[in-house]
Structures are given as structure tokens and as C-alpha cells.
């Protein structure tokens, strides 16, 4: 029987990072992955492949609509979806092989197969050929991630009624893609196919898209995506999804209770994700789940069984790759006797549409509900020289500060490179910066990031320089 200090079940951004950090800290570490490639949902059918397609489709969009403004004349550019998919696969292959390299470099033992508990200290690895072996481990980290959710009355056939996984490998550009769900995944994949020529209709139960983010971001992104040609049916509850040959009919009710019917050749069901614990045999280890099927943990990410921990999408909190990675590091360092911490309020969220959307901290709605006295600063991206130079004039930066102390409580942005710029806001808030602190910092000119300084000036009550 193989014996380890730590065994990690699952090799996504939480699992593989946890394994690396455990090994770096001198713990003999094993990792179990049931698929032939490592990296979990994020690297294989999530973050990485979707960004590859987003970038490819954005290049096509620019070639078709924006290059002429820059003096670049291309006669009737054509989208080659098969090549885009192939390039996406190449990116995934390079990235997942990079994880294999890191496992070897850090001397992490990799087991390919399905991991399931035999007891609180033993995990069985069932391999593809049916054989199995037992791993004995002092500590075990559950990092099995999540799977796409659906609605009870929808049958996912993976052909015309699809999830995000299938949307990454379509053989044709849809004529009309109906997206059920106006969250991050639906809007990103909807953007890919809208740019490539699909008609895209988003059906959202809530009264706004990206409903968990600040209301101002929802409103602005709705406006921008409508300008790009995307259609939205908000406050609309899907009742049925039926396929007839190559046509899929979505029947819904609007906020007035009236029936709405939308037909397309593909329907993307994007209503969130659910924790994945199938096949773990948690009952053999005595590990408890909560009412939503997540592994229950305390503030140290420790389950009710003291030597078993859980991280990432399989536990409570935002289902974000970087959140899972931070949790993997936290558990590893705890096992090594250190005292790490995570400030969950400062884990940023991003939507990779164009323009991008990014946020960290509390929303204006949350702060008002908590009765916190705030002041808000705004600055439009179109007021920047850098935005005009690139042609990316949509969006704004919004900074929310405490009315009394001036401490920054939330930063919300939509605009070019927002996904990268949000890190500056996270840094500032980690050190509890005030709006005035940010306003006094020099920001290089001309950059998109200058809008952060200008929004901070506005939040302090001073007049922004360029507005």
C-alpha cells in the first residue's frame, strides 16, 4: 500500500495548486485525477478554452468591423470555426501538459483513476482497466470541483440542447443560439458565437444580467451587448425546452405571466454549476454534506473529519478558479504548521466579454442594505486618451468608499482590460487604502488604468482632472 502525508483528489486549479504547495513544504504528496489530462474543468472545458475562443472570435470581430478604422483593409473576412476549435485544443494541450511538468518538478505522485474513500485515511484509486489500488494518507484534500447545472424539466442531449462543455466544440456556427441564463458563462459563450455571426438571445429569470454584480455594471453591460446585437429577455422564467429535429423551442413566461416562445437551432443551458461529489463514497469516511450538496467545512476548510479538508467549487463560496487556488494554498500551509488567511471579500470576479467586467469588494446594493454610509466616484472610459486611441470607449470605473473613513469598500469596472486592472484595486484594498490614497498615486499616461485614479478623485469629492 502506498503511503503519503497528503493525498489530493482532483487536479483542477484548487487540487493541483494544493499538491504543489504541499510538496514545496516538504510533505510527501499524491494527486488523483480520473481523466487522462490534468487541470480539471478550468483548463480542459472552462476558463482556458473559453478564453481561447473569446480571443479568436474577438480577432474576427475586429477584422470584420474595426480594422478599417485603423487603415487595415481586409476584404470579407471568413470565420473558420474548425480552426478556432483546433487552436483552442492546442492551447488546452499545452496548458495541461504544463501541469504534468509541474507535478514532475515538485515530485508529486500522480494516480490516474477515480478516487473514492475506503475510510478516513484510505483512498481507493479505480483505474480505467478496472484494476485498483489503495492509498494510505495522513491528510486528504477533496478538490473534485463542479459540473454544469440544469433545470429539472430540461434534457441535455449534448447535440442541440447543450452545456458550456459542448459549446466549446460545436461543428458549426449556430444560426440562432438561445442562452438560458444571463450569468458569466452564458454571456461569454454567447459573445463568442454572436461575433461569429449567430443570432443570440439570452433568457434570464432575474431582472438583470450578471445579477450578483453591482447594478451599474449589469446596466452598462446590457447596453453594450445590446449594441453588439445580443437580445435579452429579462424577468423571464423558462417553462419547457423541446427539440424537434434541428430546431429547439424554448417556452417561457415573462413578468406579466404571458407566454414567450423562442426558437433556435441550439440552446445553451447556463444556469450555474453544482458541486461534484459523485463516486467519492464520502459516507465511508463519515464526511458531511450541506443542504446544497457541498462538502461542509469550517473556516480552516476542514470537514467534520479532522484530517480531511475540502476546497474549491465543492465547498461553499464563489465558484472561481483563483478562489480554489487560494484555498489550496491555505490548506497546504495549515498542514505545514503555518497560519495563512484568505479575505474572501477581496477575491475579484471577472466577466470576459468585451468590454470586460471586473469587481472586488462590496456592491453599492450590499452596502446600502447593510446601512453603511458611502460615497461613490465614477469615471467614464471614453474620457481617456488611451481609450480613444484604441477605440475602446465603452464602460466606466466605479469606486465606493466609506463616507467617514474614506476606506475603499468596492471597485467595479467595465472596460478594456478590466480583468487585468482589477488586481490594482485588490492590492489597494488589501492594504485598506483610502480613495485619497489611490487618487494621489501616479498612474502612467496614457493607460486605461488612469480611470482608476480619476474615479478615486471623484470619490474623494475632488473634481476629476479629465472630466
| Beta-sheet pairing, 176-180 with 273-275 | unpaired
For the stretch 335-382, pLDDT in tens is 999 999 999 999 999 999 999 999 999 999 999 999 999 999 999 999
Q: Model confidence over 4-55: pLDDT tens digits?
A: 999 999 999 999 999 999 999 999 999 999 999 999 999 999 999 999 999 9
Greatest Cα pair distance in the chain: 70
The answer to whether residue 463 scores a pLDDT higher than 90 is no
144 is in an annotated binding site: yes
Residues forming a β-bridge with 261: 251
Q: 308-310 and 132-142 as β-strands: parallel, antiparallel, unpaired?
A: parallel
Q: Give the mean pLDDT of 267-274.
A: 97
Q: Would you say 187 is a known binding-site residue? A: yes
Is 37 labelled a binding residue? no
Question: Residue 146 annotated as binding?
Answer: yes
Does the annotation list 415 as a binding residue? no
Q: Report the chain's mean pLDDT, rounded to a whole number.
A: 97
Residue 407, phi then psi, degrees to nearest 5: -65, 135
Q: How confident is the model at residue 426 (pLDDT cuts 50, 70, 90)?
A: very high
- Residue 213 annotated in ligand binding: no
Q: What is the DSSP letter of 434?
A: B
Q: Is 184 annotated as a binding residue?
A: yes
pLDDT of residue 462: 86
> Is 313 annotated for ligand binding?
yes
pTM above 0.75, yes or no: yes
Judge contact between 268 and 164, C-beta under 8 A.
yes
- Whether the per-residue pLDDT at 1 is higher than 80: the answer is no
Structure confidence at residue 464 as a pLDDT band (50, 70, 90): confident
Catalytic entry in 65, 300, 445, 466:
445
Bridging pattern class, strands 408-415 and 356-361: antiparallel
Look at residue 400 in the predicted model and tell me its pLDDT.
98
Of 372, 449, 463, the C-alpha closest to 410 is: 372
pLDDT at 251: 98
Neighbours of 464 (CB within 10 A): 20
Residue ranges in 286-392 assigned as alpha helix (H): 321-335, 364-369, 385-390
In order of their start, the domains of the chain are: 2-148+274-336 (3.50.50.60), 161-271 (3.50.50.60), 349-461 (3.30.390.30)
List the grid coordinates of 46: 472552462
Is 182 labelled a binding residue? yes
Q: What is the pLDDT of residue 73?
A: 94
Report the C-alpha gap between 143 and 328 in whole angstroms: 9
- The string of pLDDT tens digits covering residues 177-227 is 999 999 999 999 999 999 999 999 999 999 999 999 999 999 999 999 999
pLDDT surpasses 90 at 71: yes
Q: Per-residue b/e over 283-321, b at no fewer than 16 CB within 10 Å? A: eebebebeeeebbebeeebbbebeebbbbbbbbebebbb
Active site residue 445: yes
Cis before 355? omega within 30: yes
Nearest by Cα to 438 from 466, 467, 404, 400: 400
* Residue-wise pLDDT tens digits, 86-131: 999 999 999 999 999 999 999 999 999 999 999 999 999 999 899 9
Whole-number pLDDT of residue 9:
98
* pLDDT above 70: percentage of residues in the chain: 100
pLDDT tens digit string along 308-340?
Answer: 999 999 999 999 999 999 999 999 999 999 999
Amino acid at each position: 500500500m502506498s503511503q503519503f502525508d497528503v493525498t489530493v483528489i482532483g487536479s483542477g486549479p484548487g487540487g493541483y495548486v494544493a499538491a504543489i504547495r504541499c510538496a514545496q513544504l516538504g510533505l510527501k504528496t499524491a494527486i488523483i485525477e480520473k481523466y487522462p489530462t490534468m487541470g480539471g474543468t478550468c483548463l480542459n472545458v472552462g476558463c482556458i478554452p473559453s478564453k481561447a475562443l473569446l480571443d479568436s472570435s474577438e480577432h474576427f470581430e475586429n477584422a470584420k468591423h474595426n480594422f478599417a478604422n485603423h487603415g487595415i483593409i481586409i476584404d470579407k473576412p471568413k470565420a473558420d470555426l474548425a480552426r478556432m476549435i483546433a487552436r483552442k485544443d492546442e492551447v488546452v494541450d499545452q496548458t495541461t501538459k504544463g501541469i504534468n511538468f509541474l507535478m514532475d518538478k515538485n515530485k508529486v505522485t500522480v494516480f490516474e483513476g477515480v478516487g473514492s474513500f475506503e475510510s478516513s485515511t484510505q483512498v481507493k484509486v479505480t483505474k480505467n482497466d478496472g484494476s485498483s489500488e489503495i492509498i494510505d494518507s495522513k491528510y486528504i484534500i477533496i478538490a473534485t470541483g463542479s459540473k454544469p447545472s440544469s433545470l429539472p424539466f430540461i434534457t441535455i442531449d449534448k447535440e442541440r440542447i447543450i452545456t458550456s462543455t459542448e459549446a466549446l466544440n460545436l461543428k458549426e456556427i449556430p444560426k440562432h443560439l438561445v442562452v438560458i441564463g444571463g450569468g458569466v458563462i452564458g454571456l461569454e459563450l454567447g459573445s463568442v458565437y454572436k461575433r461569429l455571426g449567430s443570432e443570440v438571445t439570452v433568457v434570464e429569470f432575474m431582472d438583470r444580467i450578471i445579477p450578483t454584480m453591482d447594478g451599474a455594471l449589469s446596466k452598462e453591460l446590457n447596453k453594450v451587448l445590446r449594441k453588439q446585437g445580443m437580445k435579452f429577455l429579462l424577468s423571464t422564467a423558462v417553462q419547457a425546452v423541446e427539440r424537434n429535429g434541428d430546431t429547439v423551442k424554448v417556452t417561457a413566461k415573462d413578468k406579466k405571466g404571458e407566454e414567450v416562445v423562442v426558437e433556435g437551432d441550439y440552446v445553451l443551458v447556463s444556469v450555474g454549476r453544482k458541486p461534484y461529489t459523485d463516486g467519492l463514497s464520502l459516507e465511508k469516511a463519515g464526511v458531511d454534506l450541506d443542504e446544497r450538496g457541498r462538502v461542509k467545512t469550517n473556516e480552516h476548510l476542514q470537514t467534520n473529519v479532522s484530517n480531511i479538508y475540502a476546497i474549491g467549487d465543492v465547498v461553499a463560496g464563489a465558484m472561481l478558479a483563483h478562489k480554489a487556488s487560494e484555498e489550496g494554498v491555505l490548506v497546504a500551509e495549515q498542514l505545514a504548521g503555518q497560519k495563512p488567511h484568505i479575505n474572501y471579500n477581496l477575491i475579484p470576479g471577472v466577466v470576459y466579454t468585451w468590454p470586460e467586467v471586473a469587481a472586488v469588494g462590496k456592491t453599492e446594493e450590499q452596502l446600502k442594505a447593510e446601512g453603511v454610509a458611502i460615497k461613490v466616484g465614477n469615471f467614464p472610459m471614453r474620457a481617456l486618451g488611451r481609450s480613444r486611441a484604441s477605440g475602446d470607449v465603452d464602460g466606466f470605473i466605479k469606486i465606493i468608499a466609506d463616507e467617514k473613513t474614506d476606506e475603499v469598500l468596492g471597485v467595479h469596472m467595465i472596460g478594456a482590460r478590466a480583468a487585468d486592472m482589477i488586481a490594482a484595486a485588490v492590492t489597494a484594498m488589501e492594504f485598506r487604502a483610502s480613495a485619497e490614497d489611490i487618487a494621489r498615486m501616479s498612474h502612467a499616461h496614457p493607460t486605461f488604468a488612469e480611470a482608476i485614479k480619476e474615479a478615486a478623485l471623484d470619490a474623494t469629492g475632488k473634481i476629476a482632472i479629465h472630466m
